[in-house]
Amino acid sequence: MNRDSHTLGSKILKIVKHFCLNNKLVIFFFLTHVVFAIFLGRLFAFAPDEKGYLFTFNNVYSLPINTYSQTGSGWITAPTIFLWIAYLPAKILNLVGVPDYLSIRLLSVGITTLSLFFFLKMKSNIKLTKAIPQELIYFSFFIPSVFLWTSTGLREAFIIFEITLVLVGLNFILLGKSKKGISMLFVGSYGLLSTKPYLWVLLIMGLIVFTIINLILKTPKKHLIKLIAAGFVTPLILFAGTTSQYALNFIFNGSVTEVGLRSGDSITKLKVQESEDLITFHGDYTLIALHFYLLENPNSAFSRVFGVLNLDDKVESLWDEKLQAGLISESKEVGKDTSSLNGHILKPGLITEPWSMLWPAFVFLAGPFPFVGDPGIAAKISSFESPLWWLLYTLVIYQFYRFRRFKLFRDPAIIFTLIFLAGEIAFSSLVEVNLGTSFRHRSILLAPLVFLYLRIAQRARELQDAESKPAI
C-alpha cells in the first residue's frame, strides 16, 4: 500500500515536473497574476464591480436556491447550479483558509491560464512557426487591462475562457478530434449561455453560417449533427432546465434599445468635511476609491509600494485638484463636461439607423485615445494601452493579407469567428454607454482575435500540405 502510494506520488511529481519544464511561459504567466492578485488585497478601485461578484460568491451556496445572491453582480441570469460548479474551486480554497476575494481571483487566474495554454498548444501543432511567433500570443494576454481584469474576480476571465473553449473545440472537430472538440464546445457553449446570453446568441449566429458552409462543402451529416447538438441544442436544454424563471424573464423582457438608453454617467457624491459642501463627481471613481483606500489602509502592501514610488502623493495631488474644481463650481460638480472625444459618457448607435453604429463601434475598438481631452485619470492612463490593441488588429489584418491566396473566406472556422467578432462589435456599439465599462468589455475580443491569427496560419498549412501530396 505504501509502495503504491509512493509510486503514485512519484508519477504525479514527474508529470508536474515535466509540465513545468515544458510550459515555463505558462507557469510564469500564472505566477505573475497570482502575485498581482495578492498584492491588490481588498482594493477594488480598479474593478469596482468585483464587490458584487464577491457578494454572489459568499451567498450563492446558501439554501434555498434563489437569485438574491446574484442580483448585485453580472450573474443575474446564470443558473445557480452552474455557479455552484463554476465557483467550486474557489469555494474549496476559501474553506481551507484562503480569503474570499483572493479565492475568486485565483479562479480567474487559473481559467485564464488555461485559455493561454490551449492557444499555445494550438500554435504548437502548426508547423508554420515563422508565421505565428509564440511571443505574440503570450504577450497579447499581458495587455495591461486584460492582465487586470483576469487577475480580479470579474466575469471577463470566464467569458474569455468560454469563448476559447468554443473556438479551440471547433478547431479540434475540424482536425478530426471529435470527442475532445465536442466536449470543449459543449462546456464553452453552456458556460457562455449562463455567463452572458447575448454573446451566446452571437455564437449561434456563427454556428448557423458554419453549418450552412459545411453543408455546401458536403461535410458528413453525422459530423454536423454532433456539432449542433453539442454547440446549441444540449446547452440550451440544460440552461432552460436549470435557470430560474426570474432569469428567463430578465432575458426575454429586455431589449437592446432599452439597454442603450441607460445613463452612462458614473456619479459619486461626497461631503467635504471642512466646508460641509456636497461635491458631485462625474466619473473618476478610481481616483476617489484610491484616495480613501490609501487613507484607510496605510500599512497594506499596495499602499507601501505606492508610497515608495511616490504615487500616493500623485493621487493626493489629483484628488485636491478635483476637489478644488468642485468647490469653486457653481453647481458643486466636477467632471460633468463630456464634450471631448474621451468623455466618460458614450452615445450608442441605434439599431434602426445602422450608420449611427459606426462611430460607437470605432470608439469601442480604438478608444480611449491618448492625449485627447481630459477624460479623468483612469481613462487617461488606459488611453496609453489603446495602441497595443491597434497593433493587435493590424497584425490580424496583416495575417489575412499575408495568406490571402489560401481561400481564407472559404474556411468555416474563420467565417464562424468573424461573424461572432462582428456581432460583438455591433452589439457593443448599441449598448455601451460608459467609457470605462466599454474599455473593460473590449478585453473579451482577445480570444477571437488570437484564434483568428492562429487559424489563418493553420489553414495555410493545411492547404500547403494538400498541395504537396502527390496525385494518385
DSSP 323-370: HHHHHHSTTSEES----STT-SB----BTTBGGGGHHHHHHHHHPSPT
Distance between CA atoms of 452 and 418, rounded to whole angstroms?
8
Mean pLDDT of 252-259: 59
CB 33 within 8 A of CB 112: yes
How much is the CA Rg of the chain, to the nearest whole Å? 24
- Mean pLDDT of the 162-191 span: 90
Q: How many CB atoms are closer than 10 A to CB 162?
A: 28
| pLDDT tops 90 at residue 375 | no
Q: Residue 280's beta-bridge partner residues?
A: 269, 333
| Stretch among 92-96, 97-101, 252-256, 375-379 having the lowest mean pLDDT | 252-256
17: confidence class by pLDDT, cuts 50, 70, 90? low
Task: Flag whether pLDDT at 326 surpasses 90.
Answer: no
215 pLDDT exceeds 70? yes
Residue 336: the pLDDT is 59
pLDDT at 193 over 60: yes
User: Which of the residue ranges 116-120, 336-340, 378-382, 468-472 has the most confident prediction, judged by mean pLDDT?
Assistant: 116-120
When comparing pLDDT for 82 and 209, which is higher? 82
Q: What is the pLDDT of residue 229?
A: 85
Are the C-beta atoms of 243 and 251 separated by less than 8 Å?
no
Helices 301-308, 24-40: axis angle to 10 degrees equals 100
Q: What is the per-residue pLDDT for 294? A: 93
Looking at residue 352, what is its pLDDT?
85
pLDDT at 20: 65
pLDDT value of position 132: 59
Q: What is the pLDDT of residue 400?
A: 93
Q: How far is CA 431 from CA 133, 328, 364, 437, in A?
A: 35, 35, 11, 10
Residue type at 296 in one-letter notation: E
The reported pLDDT for the residue numbered 39 is: 95
Q: Where are the alpha helices (DSSP H) in 217-350?
A: 221-228, 234-242, 245-253, 256-260, 285-296, 301-308, 311-328
pLDDT of 65 higher than 80:
no
The pLDDT mean for the chain works out to 84
The strand pair at 278-282 and 267-271 is best described as: antiparallel
Q: Which long-range contacts (CB under 8 A, 24 or more apart) does 346-352 make?
A: 346/264, 346/432, 346/433, 346/434, 346/435, 346/438, 347/433, 348/260, 348/429, 348/430, 348/431, 348/432, 348/433, 349/260, 349/429, 349/430, 350/257, 350/260, 350/430, 351/256, 351/257, 351/430
**For residue 128, what pLDDT is reported?**
55
The pLDDT-based confidence of 30 (bands split at 50, 70, 90) is very high
Above 70 in pLDDT, residue 198? yes
pLDDT, mean of residues 35-57: 94
Beta bridge mates, 434: 345
pLDDT at position 21 = 59
Relative to beta strand 278-282, strand 333-334 is: parallel
H or E element at residue 282: strand 278-282
Question: What is the pLDDT at residue 460?
Answer: 84
Non-local (6+) Cβ contacts of 248 within 8 A are 240
Region 170-192: mean pLDDT is 88
Contacts 24+ apart (CB under 8 A), 182-185: 182/226, 182/227, 182/230, 183/230, 185/227, 185/230, 185/231
- Residue 388 CB coordination number (10 Å): 15
Q: What's residue 164's pLDDT? A: 97
* Peptide bond connecting 64 to the previous residue in cis, omega within 30 degrees of 0: yes
CA neighbor of 348 nearest in space, from 450, 237, 434: 434
- Say whether pLDDT at 72 is over 90: no
